[in-house]
Amino acid sequence: MVFLKRQLPLLICFVIGTVTALQYYVPTNFSAEMSEGLSNWYIIVSMFAALLGFVSVGMVHTKKIQRQEPGWAYSTLVILGFLAMVIVGFVSGGKETTPDGRPSSYGWLYNCTLVPLQATMFAILGFYVASAAFRSFRAKSFDAGVLLATAVIVLLGNVPFTNQVWAGWLGIHDVAGVKIEMTDIVSWLIGTPNAAARRGVTFGVALGAIATSLKIIFGIERAYLGGGD
Amino acid sequence: MLRVLWLTALAAGIAAAQETPSKAALPPVEGVAFEDVPADNGAAIQATWKKMPNDAEVTYRIMVATSENGPWFLAAETPGTENFSQDDGYPFWMGPPKNRELHYLAVDGYQAGEERVTLMPPEDPKTKTRKPTPDYWFKLVAESPAGSWESPATKLKPEWNLFNWARLNVFLYMLAFAGIILAFIQIARGRQLFIRRIAGLDAVDEAVGRATEMGKPIFYLTGRNGITDVSTVAATLILGEIAKKVATYDTTIKVPHTDPIVMAVCQEITRESYIAAGRPDSFKPDSNFFVTDDQFGYTAAVDGMMVREKPAACFYMGYYYAESLLLAETGASTGAIQVAGTDADHQLPFFVTACDYTLIGEELYAAGAYLSKEPVLVGTLRGQDIGKAVILAALLVLTAVATIGQWVTVGGKKPYKWSEIWVFDFLKGS
Amino acid sequence: MEPFFRKLLAMDRRWIFLCLGVAVIFPTFFKLNLPGLKASPNVQAVYDLVENMPEGSKVLVSFDFDPASKPELAPQATAVLRHLFRKKHKVVAMGLWVTGVTMAKDIVSRTAAEANAKYGEDYVYLGWKPGNFAVIENMAADIHNCFPKDNDGKETASLPMMKGIRKLSEFDLVVSLAAGSPGIDTWIAYGSDKYHFKMTGGTTAVNVASMAQYVQAGQMTGLIGAMRGAAEYEMLINQKGDAAAGMDAISLGHYLIVALVVLGNVAYFVTRGSKGGA
């Protein structure tokens, strides 16, 4: 039992991890085929995992409905929505349009429910950004002040009309003999200090990712199998 | 480039069997060599020859045959002004010397009438096998209005190689870094290594304590990526530590998931944490549950739960996308104490704005070691720091060299220009 | 003034939501046509790439987004596809996000119909396949194996255009229009860096700064950023679309947020010293 629960997964992890890492350096056909095979296995396993998710959703929500827990009506909506999409999808043969080119019922559900619902959720982000900018973005220190000034410049520079005002109306073109537009300042801010900071974070993240991968491949880190040692 | 040449050849309708041009006036091309491509799967060969004085007028063709006496087929062609060894695509430690004095062409097939034939026989789709690669004969033909010349035929078979030497630099980095990490793990087994304070993780006790006092649940999110993402693995490890504290205080934890595999892993981790805390009977399997893999469907569901249940604490660990602010702002509006940890650099500003504590970048990976104080995990952190120090030192030294090189001139040339520093070339493998 | 600012700081955030709503909806009904749009170097680079490829080049367009990002990325996709079809390039479209399949098909068929492009000869829509990065790896090995059938269930190998395309490396250009991951970074890590093909793409405003580093490092050529990038591309191809129409709303939204930041800070400094200040 311990073998199946601990040693076998660790062994599989070590073998697959090492082989996949080395595959990058071996240019043979066998190596490429093996990589393709492993990718296929990943796709197959991930599809089985979808079943896990499906079971989890079903269990959590039916339990809520059975026990009439607070908010159980939402669970009913989840189940109904799920069933509606699946049944309509089957009836339409998974096609978005009918043979004569009109939207199928599945296509209608997709275009008239999923699209606006998702777009709405994403659009809320804009409102939250505005609210957070007003409430939290304060020049409480010199550092915060620099951050604030930069943010304002980038925000303004991202609007084409500001460039029109800057270059066309205010006539600010030449700074010490160099033609500078608002977009140039924004590009510099994004491409130089911002990119430098991001690369710093990226280096750290990449090294951390390699170290974590090594720990997993060599079985040093095994908590993901459940528990510590 | 080669593909363009191929297409040009095709468009010109070059016929299957090319007549060998009559030998005449052109001076012999020097340094003609046909070799196997040094780091491939046995699909191609390469040809090199020296630049000639009349190159502007010459068209070079590589001809191939399966027997010494032909028939000869066109494999590739180039005008004399193009395709030099400096553009051969190999790093400097491989292939012919990089310059514009030597022509270079790689060949992986030829045109036989309408059909394109690869040097390596194609795989049979049914048996998934290939016939053995036959021997080929190659020759170079130079043609100009003044006449033509052809090299003697060379017998050659493309061979596969076991190691891609073009990736030697990456291989050496991998070995070096793995060595450093493993060495420090060994060192850490012997002695205690220092780990600096991470405020966001010290707040875990405060958050769990608050939840216990208020009798409200803790929400723990593992990010939007799958278990193949290292940040998700880190998030699951932190969950294990937090779940132990949750079990000890007998508080409620809710872990909504967007990936079923991560859910299964987290279920096991939470169960083990409850066992480790000595409260296996308090463990609820449905504390980890799947919501949906749809980004905003997940966000809407979790936001809804937060608004209804008013959690005492929210943890956002792992990788996040546009949903970060939607989650964190909603959490903040419920009055929860919020701790985020992500290596998604573009979402950090949102978390910093809306959360009480934020773990930045690799602090997320350090969290497992920090919370568990496991010497092995702390050792890996030290290894990472050494790796970072090496990169930092390399960056500083090479930037200084490159900067100084802008002004230093030796013999009328700037020897330290970016492109001419071999260390840079080795690092990027060009 | 102080009590006013204190009230302002304590105001319900829904007032802010309302202001932003008005700022965005107003220009939708009353066109302002604010001037000043100019192609940025990154968008120009994408345009030049498509423009200068020889006619009939093979281009893969990956729709790596879902309807949530449609307002930003669909105009980009439309503009790029219009340009590709206009230049008579061979387009293979697909997606790595399952919820974007229908939307992508709609955009591809609409732009193809505008250009009288024939299915199977000038363009193909492969649809979606699960597996994230594994799909890219499989496509690098054999596209026909990875997608044995197109989105409509036709044999991929039977489509005339696909006969000459078997591997990712055979594409002259890969365009990833991505809202997140899998997206541009996945295509670079598992595709172009390993199998050496030319990459370009477009992304949402929130991701522009992240993706810009790939352009700087030479791992991709050019980048279309958000709705503004789409509007710039529409301007370059001389065919205005949804992005150009949405730019007024975007502009007013930006100005409002700047005004809110400034107002919030003024209120903060005015009320800072006093009792009950923020």
DSSP A17-41: HHHHHHHTT--SHHHHHHHHHHHHH
CA A119 from chain center: how many Å? 16
Instruction: Out of A204, A221, A227, name the one closest to residue B273 (CB).
Output: A227
Please report the pLDDT score of residue C277 as a whole number: 41
Cβ atoms within 10 Å of A140's Cβ, excluding its own: 12
pLDDT band at C88 (very low <50, low <70, confident <90, very high): very high
Chain C residue numbers touching B231 (CB-CB < 8 A): none
Buried b (16+ CB within 10 A) or exposed e, A79-105: eeeeeeeeebbeebeebbbeeeeebbe
Question: A67 to each of A64, A72, A74, how far by Cα in Å?
Answer: 5, 8, 13
- Give how far C155 is from chain A: nearest CA, Å: 17
Mean pLDDT, rounded, of chain C = 89
- Ranking A40-49, A146-155, B69-78, C85-94 by mean pLDDT, the lowest is A40-49
Please report the pLDDT score of residue B429 as a whole number: 63
pLDDT band at A110 (very low <50, low <70, confident <90, very high): confident
Question: C147 to each of A128, B234, C96, C167, C183, how far by Cα in Å?
Answer: 40, 34, 13, 11, 19
For chain B, give every domain's residue range.
Answer: 33-162, 170-180+385-428, 193-372
Q: Do C209 and B295 touch (CB under 8 A)?
A: no
- Give how far C198 is from chain A: nearest CA, Å: 20
Chain A adjacent subunits, 3+ CB pairs under 8 A: B, C
Beta pairing partners, B34: B47
Query: C263-275, pLDDT tens digit by residue?
Result: 999 998 888 866 5
For C171, the 3-state DSSP assignment is coil
Chain A residue numbers touching B172 (CB-CB < 8 A): none
pTM: 0.78
Question: Which homologous superfamily is B33-162 in?
Answer: Immunoglobulins (2.60.40.10)
Cβ atoms within 10 Å of B391's Cβ, excluding its own: 18
Q: Do C204 and B322 touch (CB under 8 A)?
A: yes
| Non-local CB neighbours of C24 within 8 Å, separated by 6+ positions | A126, C249, C252, C253
Closest chain B residue to C218, measured at CA: B428
Contact call for residues B361 and A204 (beta carbons, < 8 A): yes
Torsion, CA B125, CA B128, CA B129, CA B133, rounded to 10? 50
Please report the pLDDT score of residue C17 as a whole number: 93
Mean pLDDT calculated for residue range A70-77: 89
| Secondary structure letter of residue A101 according to DSSP | S
Q: Do B294 and C99 touch (CB under 8 A)?
A: yes
| Non-local CB neighbours of B400 within 8 Å, separated by 6+ positions | none
Alpha-helix residue ranges (DSSP H) falling in B226-294? 230-249, 260-276
Question: B265 to each of B260, B270, B290, C182, C225, how far by Cα in Å?
Answer: 9, 9, 12, 22, 37
pLDDT band at A228 (very low <50, low <70, confident <90, very high): very low
Instruction: Out of B295, B319, B346, name the one closest to residue C66 (CB).
Output: B295
| B199-214 helix and B363-372 helix, angle to the nearest 10 degrees | 60
pLDDT band at C260 (very low <50, low <70, confident <90, very high): very high
Chain A residue numbers touching B348 (CB-CB < 8 A): 201
Question: Per the structure block, which two tokens stand in for A225?
Answer: 């199998």
For C209, the 3-state DSSP assignment is helix
- Give how far C54 is from chain A: nearest CA, Å: 31
Contact call for residues C249 and C226 (beta carbons, < 8 A): no
Question: Per the structure block, which two tokens stand in for B68?
Answer: 């010494």
Query: CB contact, 8 Å: A112 with chain B?
Result: no
Please report the pLDDT score of residue B102 as a whole number: 87
Query: How far apart, in whole angstroms, are the C-alpha atoms of residue C251 and residue A162?
Result: 9
Instruction: Out of B259, B271, B381, name the one closest to residue A226 (CB).
Output: B271
pLDDT value at C278 more than 50: no
Torsion, CA A142, CA A146, CA A147, CA A149, rounded to 10? 130
Q: Do A228 and B240 touch (CB under 8 A)?
A: yes
Query: How far apart, in whole angstroms, are the C-alpha atoms of residue B17 and residue C156?
Result: 32
What are the residue ranges in chain B where pLDDT is below 50?
Answer: 1-23
- Helical (H) or strand (E) element with B221: strand B218-221
B193-372 CATH: 3.40.50.1220
Residue of B319, B322, B265 whose CA lies nearest to B288:
B265
pLDDT band at A229 (very low <50, low <70, confident <90, very high): very low
Please report the pLDDT score of residue B416 as a whole number: 55
Query: What are the helix and strand counts (H, E) for chain A?
Result: 10, 2
CA distance from start to end of chain A:
15
Question: Per the structure block, which two tokens stand in for C34?
Answer: 């604010």
Please report the pLDDT score of residue B413 as a whole number: 61
Chain A residue numbers touching B233 (CB-CB < 8 A): 212, 216, 221, 224
Please report the pLDDT score of residue B337 as a whole number: 93
| Non-local CB neighbours of B215 within 8 Å, separated by 6+ positions | none
| Non-local CB neighbours of B152 within 8 Å, separated by 6+ positions | B139
Q: Do B225 and C181 touch (CB under 8 A)?
A: yes
Instruction: Out of C66, C102, C257, name the one closest to residue A130 (CB).
Output: C257
Mean pLDDT calculated for residue range C31-54: 90
Beta pairing partners, B106: B46
Q: What percentage of chain A has pLDDT greater than the value 70?
A: 92
Contact call for residues B417 and B405 (beta carbons, < 8 A): yes
Instruction: Out of A161, A162, A195, name the one closest to residue C213 (CB).
Output: A195
- Give how far B355 is from chain C: nearest CA, Å: 17
Q: Do A198 and C213 touch (CB under 8 A)?
A: yes
Instruction: Please say whether the dihedral angle defined by the alpha carbons of residues B11, B12, B15 and B21, taken in this order, is positive or negative.
Output: negative
Mean pLDDT calculated for residue range A126-148: 86
Instruction: Out of B4, B295, B346, name the one closest to residue C210 (CB).
Output: B346
For B75, the 3-state DSSP assignment is strand
Query: What are the helix and strand counts (H, E) for chain C?
Result: 12, 6
Question: B303 to each of B36, B289, B306, B307, B332, how far by Cα in Å?
Answer: 61, 15, 5, 6, 11
- Helical (H) or strand (E) element with B222: none
Question: Per the structure block, which two tokens stand in for A99?
Answer: 């043979």
Query: CB contact, 8 Å: B148 with chain C?
Result: no
Instruction: Out of A29, A56, A212, name the one closest to residue B365 (CB).
Output: A212
Please report the pLDDT score of residue C137 as a whole number: 85
Residues of chain A numbered 148-177 and touching chain C (CB < 8 Å): 148, 151-152, 155-156, 158-165, 168
Q: Do A129 and B325 touch (CB under 8 A)?
A: yes
Contact call for residues B323 and B298 (beta carbons, < 8 A): yes
Contact call for residues C91 and C119 (beta carbons, < 8 A): no
Contact call for residues B140 and B32 (beta carbons, < 8 A): yes
Buried b (16+ CB within 10 A) or exposed e, B314-349: bbbbbbbbbbbbbbbbbbbbbebbbbbbbbbbbbbb
Question: Per the structure block, which two tokens stand in for B378?
Answer: 């702390």
Which residue, chain included where needed, has tokens 């399949």?
Answer: C101
Please report the pLDDT score of residue B376 as a whole number: 78
Query: CB contact, 8 Å: A29 with chain B?
Result: yes
- The residue that leads in pLDDT, B7 or C245, is C245
Query: CB contact, 8 Å: A74 with chain B?
Result: yes
pLDDT value at C230 more than 80: yes
Query: CB contact, 8 Å: B398 with chain A?
Result: no
pLDDT value at A4 more than 50: yes
- Give how far B376 is from chain C: nearest CA, Å: 30
Identical fold between B33-162 and B193-372: no
Residues of chain A numbered 53-92 and touching chain C (CB < 8 Å): none
Q: How many B/C residue pairs have CB atoms within 8 Å? A: 26
Query: CB contact, 8 Å: B174 with chain A?
Result: yes
Please report the pLDDT score of residue B420 as a whole number: 56
Query: How far apart, in whole angstroms, are the C-alpha atoms of residue B313 and residue B150?
Result: 80
Query: How far apart, in whole angstroms, are the C-alpha atoms of residue B403 and residue B396?
Result: 10
Closest chain A residue to C251, measured at CA: A159
Instruction: Out of B230, B237, B362, name the one closest to residue A223 (CB).
Output: B237
Q: Do B372 and A128 touch (CB under 8 A)?
A: no
